[in-house]
Chains A and B, each alone.
Chain A
């Protein structure tokens, strides 16, 4: 591929990824509201468009035309940079997630991810750490009490659970022997005993820890103390309105979908699944499998939100540092032992 061609392909991929995420968020917000409503014996938004699916679009348009107010005590530059940073970091995470099998057109093969970094896992952890800045800056630069409280909570929560999130991924990396996301998906392509898909979900403790840390990382129930409306109004984005608020909202839901997509990629085999039929179907089916798995995890997130009450702040911290992290450390050691035994046999044998 020539340099120009590379540039064009990258451009198309970036735009496609952006469009995909925005469309996903449009549907995601509606799905969340509908599902939670159904769990509470309500209908949820069902007026705009068929089944209310255009509700998010209507809300977005409304926010677009609303005034963006700035508090008098706000640090203006940081105040407007924070929502942008939130969206950018959320979008960046998605770039390395493979949403389908590589597609061959002519004699070139295109990967269905914007780029396949060989340090994909580290990249994701790094970028999602940057996301904390958006939250912390938003709360601080608003020059207001409740946003500051929200952002302090959020920073502490995200930093502590990021550790568990990263540790949960270590066994996955050890078993897949790569930190590239495409490689991790590839490593899950086989089967155990010919019929069980060789997904990393067999690393069950990792899966559970990753999921719990993911709940905390995306600031969702039962770890949504950051936005606890009953305690601190809206948390870090209390002072934001109009499009700036919409940016935070967008970032939050992109992060939710990212976390679901990452769970599917790391533990549920990514785009792996039965593939059959003509060539175009063989390219389409992996994407379908990926979407089904991601949305199943999304449903789990929504389900938890509809079920679990918010936990207390000290419980949150205690759970993160005293339970999740030690358990993941022990689990990493067990996984190491398992790998060693598989490679070198039992020490006494």
Chain B
């Protein structure tokens, strides 16, 4: 009777497809429903500030140098002595990222000695012109109180709350390129997040005396 079973085979397929019609759908209804992004998601960048409002960027151009896509353009300038922009000697005078070229590898974040540039969870960056895809310092830099800026207004597609997921990626890397920071909390406090609590596996807080820790 195996020939009979063989003959029924194709028809059993009809039952399968019919049954599947009533199963729950696997599609995520995107603008309404969004998937939870992993913490180290590589979204668009922001330029951070210290809690006192000073910019973290010192205009060293390491990010531009390390960028494999050559999408970052930085020009540093000397801090004006009477109104310094950053705590260092120099600051990022011009800072532009071409988001059409960026491959979101995060090497700029790794290269940054002051954790000035970090990546957010925001990924909805469609624009209607190529010029709009070049994010200038105005759009990248967070407000003095830490609120991120975005060229597009908030709406169903632009959840500015996601911008605040600003340094999740940084948390898990050996920061500042110094191996000595391994195992301790080593990122600098920022205007957005303040002082960060230690992650799992990291001990204590960063020494306030500016030393490189133990």
Q: Which residues of A contact B (CB under 8 A)?
A: 35, 38-43, 303-304, 306-308
Contact = CB atoms under 8 A, between A and B. Distances in A.
Contact of B16 (A35, A38, A307): A307
B14 interface: yes
Interface in B51-90: none
27 contacts: A35-B21, A38-B20, A38-B21, A38-B25, A39-B17, A39-B18, A39-B20, A39-B21, A41-B20, A41-B23, A41-B24, A41-B25, A41-B26, A41-B27, A42-B25, A42-B26, A42-B27, A43-B25, A43-B27, A303-B14, A303-B17, A303-B18, A307-B10, A307-B13, A307-B17, A308-B10, A308-B13
Interface centre among A38, A42, A306, A307 (most CB of B within 10 A): A307
Interface string B82-126: 000000000000000000000000000000000000000000000
Contact of A307 (B14, B24, B27): B14
**Interface residue SS majority, chain A:** helix
Interface residues of B, number: 14
Interface string B21-39: 1011111010000000000
Contacts of B21: 35, 38-39
A306 B16 CA distance: 10
A51 to B, nearest CB: 13
Nearest to A42: B27
Interface centre among A38, A42, A304 (most CB of B within 10 A): A38
Given A41-B23, A43-B25, 15 more contacts: A38-B20, A38-B25, A39-B18, A39-B20, A40-B20, A41-B24, A42-B25, A42-B26, A42-B27, A43-B29, A303-B14, A303-B18, A306-B17, A307-B16, A308-B10
Nearest to A302: B17
Contacts of B18: 39, 303
A289 B156 CA distance: 44
A305 to B, nearest CB: 9
Contacts of A303: 14, 17-18
A308 B16 CA distance: 11
Contacts of A308: 10, 13
Contacts of A41: 20, 23-27
Contacts of B10: 307-308
Interface string B126-137: 000000000000
Contacts of B13: 307-308
Interface string B1-21: 000000000100110111011
Contacts of B24: 41
Contacts of B16: 307
A41 B23 CA distance: 7
Contacts of B26: 41-42
A76 B197 CA distance: 73
A40 B24 CA distance: 10
Contacts of B14: 303-304, 307
B24 to A, nearest CB: 8
Nearest to A306: B17
A330 to B, nearest CB: 19
Nearest to B14: A307
A39 B29 CA distance: 17
A39 B18 CA distance: 7
Contacts of A306: 17
B150 to A, nearest CB: 25
Contacts of B23: 41
A35 B26 CA distance: 15
B111 to A, nearest CB: 42
Nearest to B28: A43
Contacts of A42: 25-27
Contacts of A35: 21
Interface centre among B17, B23, B26 (most CB of A within 10 A): B17
B13 to A, nearest CB: 5
